[in-house]
Amino acid sequence: MPKLPHNQRAIDGLTAIDCKRTTFVSSVVTGLVLEVMPSGAKTWRLRYRTAGGRRGKTRTFTIGDARSIKLGPAIDRAKDLKAAVQLEGRDPQKERYATDSSFDALFNDWLERHAKVKKKSWLHDKALYDRHIRLRIGPLPAHSIKRADLATALDDIVKASSGIQANRAQALISSVMNWAVNEGRLESTPTYRLPKRANETPRERILSPDELRLLWQGLENGPIGTEITRILRLAILTGQRRSEITEARKVEFDLAPADPSWTIPGSRTKNGVIHRVPLPPMAAALVAAALADSKTEFVFPGRGSLSTAISPHAVTRAMSRLTTQLGIESATVHDLRRTFGTSLARLGISKDIRARVLNHVDGARSVTDAVYNQHEFRDEKRAALQRWEDELRGIVGANLSAVEGEAVVPALAVNRRAC
């Protein structure tokens, strides 16, 4: 681990190494560390072992945000905590949890120390917790929650929403409690063998050519804004994931006329592998128009915000409203990706190239190959996407001018330093 510089100006300038969470270790106070996230957030923590020598339990005590706690106070606080452990046999972490042992406090700690560090979907987890879990079990002491409490909460979610949402809430509660057991916060978890509230089967829904035509043309003058219209059309044209499109940044696009492309960094892909998507003319025109309209780093900025992208859930809701209005039954944004993959197969595109276009790491494509041979199949991927675009033109009756007024495609260089 890199050493922590011991002057405030150097600490203020620290950034995450290689766009990954980086822990800087103090050489002044043993156990004091500064965690720096790719987002720029910095947190002071103290690692220590409870009484009992090597048999003692390893703990991590969060001192606080480095934006408000400077180097000197962090060192003083770490020394006080170590003195409490070594001279008085106390356990500061356990004492903190004893004063605030609610499930709400447990979830917030899990969110900060685990989800934000290791899960790209932590925002979704927080939204799910706020929507369905907080009011039902948040105030309860975490150590006293019983299976009956969870069963009652899950049944209530089924009534208020659906069995699927209850399953998602159950999975989130289980993740938090399992983490707490591993951290020594709980002795056991009541979620073990708790039955799910709904049976789930994998979706197999794909849109027919008639449905694709109806959806594409319905986007023209429907109740959907320009940004979400472009997002849904890019999903149809490229088959990429909803969040990868909505959270796209300008630096990811290189629209040089000879080879327009979109490079999604591994920090934003589901499998953590960098993904290069060639852009045929219709897709490139959509991106060019969006780039010209955007005034932020995001291609599709959130409404009234200069610092966030449009919410993926907003796209889902818009898709639901539009398909209901058009009479297209039970179609989701992810169904567009499934339709895209199925259409490539029907067009005779090999499984290996389909996997590369969709960024699936499976038996046909190892992680090593995905990282080091990302340019090797550029022509094959472009040919596959072009074949689908040609096919789609015939299905929906679209031409380039009908997409974005034959938008001029500017040449934009990819900033490969972006996290």
Whether 413 maps to a domain, the answer reads no
260 and 342 together in one domain? yes
* pLDDT of amino acid 97: 65
pLDDT at 53: 67
Could you give the 3-state DSSP secondary structure of residue 7?
coil
Total of domains in the chain: 3
pLDDT at position 398 is 66
Q: What is the pLDDT of residue 184?
A: 73
Is 295 in contact with 192 (CB distance < 8 Å)? no
Rounded to whole angstroms, how far apart are CA atoms 314 and 230? Answer: 13
Instruction: DSSP letter for 143, please.
Output: G
Round to whole Å and give the CA distance between 61 and 48: 8
The answer to whether residues 225 and 169 belong to one domain is no
Q: Following DSSP, what letter does each residue of 127-139 receive, concatenated?
A: HHIIIIIHHHHTT
Residues 6+ apart with CB under 8 A from 417: none
CATH number of residue 93's parent domain = 3.30.160.390
Cα-Cα-Cα-Cα torsion 292, 297, 298, 302, nearest 10 degrees, comes to -100
Of 40, 64, 98, the residue that ends a domain is: 98
Which of 76, 98, 120 finishes a domain?
98
- Return the pLDDT at 72: 94
How high is the pLDDT of residue 410? 44
SS3 82: helix
Same domain? 239 vs 122: no
Residues 82, 132, single domain; the answer is no
Residue 44: C-alpha distances to residues 66, 172, 254 (Å): 6, 27, 39
One domain, residues 117 and 131: yes
Count the Cβ atoms, other than its own, within 10 Å of residue 329: 9
Segments in the chain below pLDDT 50: 363-365, 401, 405-418
Pairwise CA distance, residues 201 & 335, whole Å: 15
**Domain-located, residue 193:** no
pLDDT tens for each residue of 172-206: 999 999 998 887 788 789 998 899 999 987 788 99
**What does pTM read for this prediction?**
0.66
Structure token digits, residue 13: 């300038």
H-helix segments, 199-268: 209-221, 226-238, 242-246
Closest CA to 149 of 183, 108, 186, 103: 103
Residue 408's pLDDT is 42
Based on the fold, state whether residues 255 and 177 are members of the same structural domain.
no
Same domain, 81 and 110: no
Contacts of 121 (CB under 8 A, 6+ apart): none
Residue 66 CA to chain centroid, in angstroms? 25
Distance in angstroms (rounded) separating the CA atoms of residues 192 and 145 = 13
**Full domain range(s) for residue 145:** 103-182
Asked whether residue 159 is assigned to any structural domain, the reply reads yes
Could you give the angle at the alpha carbon of 94 between the alpha carbons of 93 and 99, nearest 5°? 100
Residue 419 is predicted with a pLDDT of: 56
Phi/psi-derived region of residue 406, left when phi > 0, alpha when psi is between -120 and 50, beta in every other case: left
Q: Are 178 and 223 part of one and the same domain?
A: no
What is the Cα–Cα distance from 377 to 381, expressed in whole angstroms?
Answer: 6
Note whether 209 and 395 are within 8 A (CB).
yes
pLDDT recorded at residue 113: 87
Residues 86 and 128 in one domain: no
371 and 268 assigned to the same domain: yes
**Do residue 307 and residue 340 come from a single domain?**
yes
- Looking at the structure, do residues 173 and 220 belong to the same domain, yes or no? no
Q: Using N-to-C axis directions, what is the helix angle for 147-160 and 163-182, rounded to 10°?
A: 150
Instruction: Report the alpha-carbon angle 108-105-162, nearest 5.
Output: 70
74 in a structural domain: yes
